[in-house]
Structure 1
């Protein structure tokens, strides 16, 4: 695949010497980090370009592409060949989603599915491409790792990601997977949404009492972070969480990779950065997210404020769940939020529900919300078993019309209300 990326980069440079570039990327963390990498790479080339971030690549977006521009899609478009073959533009695609039709003549694409490669996120592909454009772009490798973490691909690293990690100077540690791993332990336990511990989660006093009971105290009046715990303290914490948690998770699930990034001159957990980027996009602040990714001055304070607002929106959405219309069958549950939850938030809520203890493994969570004159659907599979959720949505869209994107366990689509 690396050889193909070299040729892809050569063709791109040749096609864009005298032509304006239109870049289109997805609005999730992987798409935003991808767009940030491409933005910086094109600025260094002094290429003329514009950037658009989209929730989903709909037919209307493709029909309105500027004539005469070279188009670069990042983290999307592998499922849009039926639309792309109708336009006259030269199209370049860096994407990792499944391909379901023949590649048109006007399209050059790099997709791991074509090379039987390890799973690589859009940001990973954007970085490999940028590195071929200019070796100076190795300083953007940290964004490829954040994008990987955002797409939940950080559990094991193949050959390509191992090299990207070396380029990035990001520190990799094994540890308890509660995050952010750089924050005081009592606060992590209090605010954790991954693991529910009765009388601890959501309680400041409960989290302190929980730590005191296992013999973990403060140092200079402050609790250690996860990455500061010694082996004995880590073992105590794992045992205590395993005994008290209510989500039926395995002890092994508590240990995993932690990626530590030097971000705005501070050591940060990549998962926390990913969550903050995602919050910007969900609240329509993708430009701010890109500035944040590139560590532009003054962007962090704004993102901190957006992230706080985003978390408040999640709480409001979760509080609305009991009053929403639901249809539940043996293998699926449909949750119709209508206009009570924003369409940009419905995917986050579907993910939270799928990771909760409420539904059994293998059940499909299908959540819907209004998106102006369309309905946004976000589908998640509970656990690691179950059918391909993207194929399930595809079978529906073939009947009602619309666009589908996503993966085996997480996918989404839009269709008209009428």
Structure 2
């Protein structure tokens, strides 16, 4: 970076207050989300507390549960809640202990009765410029400069939250600057194909999902033959001419299946490498996400904190999860997406990978001008995931978090999240009513954007 990245002074002061709360505490309760960002942030917080010789207990959960939070803080004098909490401030303010909130979801208000660390309050976009792992690392390095070595976990969360796709900005850029200076993170050029033997990498790829290649051994062989690449070498070992031919064919395939240029640019976004861990942040994110999805979030936490056996288990879970995701993407693609006026949707055969499949369909298969929504049945409820892209958000005026919050509430459910990605749940049997309400809410957002532009 050519110029030093600066953060707002009032944001830094808020983190100093959070650091003071950590210093004063004797026993800390940590609660975080169980996705990649949440688990990475939890590992940073726990490592920081361990180094300060603080007693602590950590839980990684699916979402904010008032009864769980109230019951879990007994016997502790500080709660650090990460990747959630900004929209539950009334509850947190009433707990009777000190509370630090590290959340990047858009809040309804600020709080002077907690140490509320949310980037939106300081004019920084929590959807693209700072996630829970960013906030956790900023807190950790505020507590002690020695905690910059936790950058690998932070960038795993940043990449897991897909905040790297158009370059680092805001808090993320500040942390990249600091981590790069200390040689904790290396920024490297992106590449279309992941590392490993080409045939296996192309067969397993869901980012990008290449129709007729992903999950198709014969399709892989045809693609490599057309590119005149005969050896099953890792991508990095190919001759430059072979790379150009293969990349060109893949890009043509993706353009043919309707992928936009913006998504192709995101595919080549810079990668972030941890020299200490000798691993790319994307692989860390995928491994930790697989742990969370399989309800092995403790394995992910232990891996990030340096446990060798946990690391071995996490990488196995990552490979198993990728196979599961690939199978679900193929099934959904074969069935085709269903279309409402203002969005496209599908019913996910596999609930465990429904949100990731939703992202894959949005980015590589579906109509690039409509948000993608997945519905997955579990017990007596339906889990909802939704994804958009920057064009849909910036130019069409779509806010999926607001739309899902409204549409789920109308049918007796709950939901919300970011403008570009959100989720929720509704009662079983309310699917048609929900889809109608969501279509109406999204249509209103588009009309408001149109009127505002006139």
The question of a shared fold, defined as TM-score above 0.5 by the shorter chain, is answered with yes
For 2:270, what is the secondary structure of its paired residue? strand
2:134 aligned to which of 118, 124, 128: 124
* CA pair 291-397 structure 1, distance change in 2 beyond 3 A: same
Structure with greater proportional helix content: 2
Does residue 1:151 correspond to 2:166, yes or no?
no
Q: Distance in 2 between matches of 1:378 and 1:45?
A: 39
2:34 aligned to which of 7, 27, 35: 27
When normalised by structure 1's length, the TM-score is: 0.85
Unpaired stretches in structure 2, ≥5 consecutive residues: 1-6, 430-454
Q: Distance in 1 between matches of 2:267 and 2:86?
A: 34
Q: CA deviation at 1:397?
A: 4.2
Match of 1:94 in 2: 102
Q: Distance in 2 between matches of 1:382 and 1:136?
A: 37
Match of 1:135 in 2: 145
Root mean square deviation of aligned Cα = 3.1
Q: Distance in 2 between matches of 1:309 and 1:165?
A: 31
1:193 aligned to which of 206, 214, 219: 206
Match of 2:450 in 1: none
For 1:376, what is the secondary structure of its paired residue? strand
Q: Deviations over 1:25-51 (max 9, x none)?
A: 111111111011111100000111111
2:252 aligned to which of 243, 260, 269: 243
Q: Distance in 2 between matches of 1:33 and 1:317?
A: 26
Does residue 1:353 correspond to 2:354, yes or no?
no
Match of 1:285 in 2: 296
* CA pair 183-63 structure 1, distance change in 2 beyond 3 A: same
Q: Deviations over 1:177-234 (max 9, x none)?
A: 33x3x3233322222213344554334454345334434454xxx51324x5565444
Structure with greater proportional strand content: 1
Contact 2:133 2:153 in 1 (8 A): yes
* CA pair 345-165 structure 1, distance change in 2 beyond 3 A: same
Range that drifts further, 309-318 or 34-43: 309-318
Match of 1:39 in 2: 46
Q: CA deviation at 1:295?
A: 3.0
Contact 2:138 2:175 in 1 (8 A): no
For 2:81, what is the secondary structure of its paired residue? strand
Match of 1:70 in 2: 78
Unpaired stretches in structure 1, ≥5 consecutive residues: none
Range that drifts further, 106-115 or 188-197: 188-197
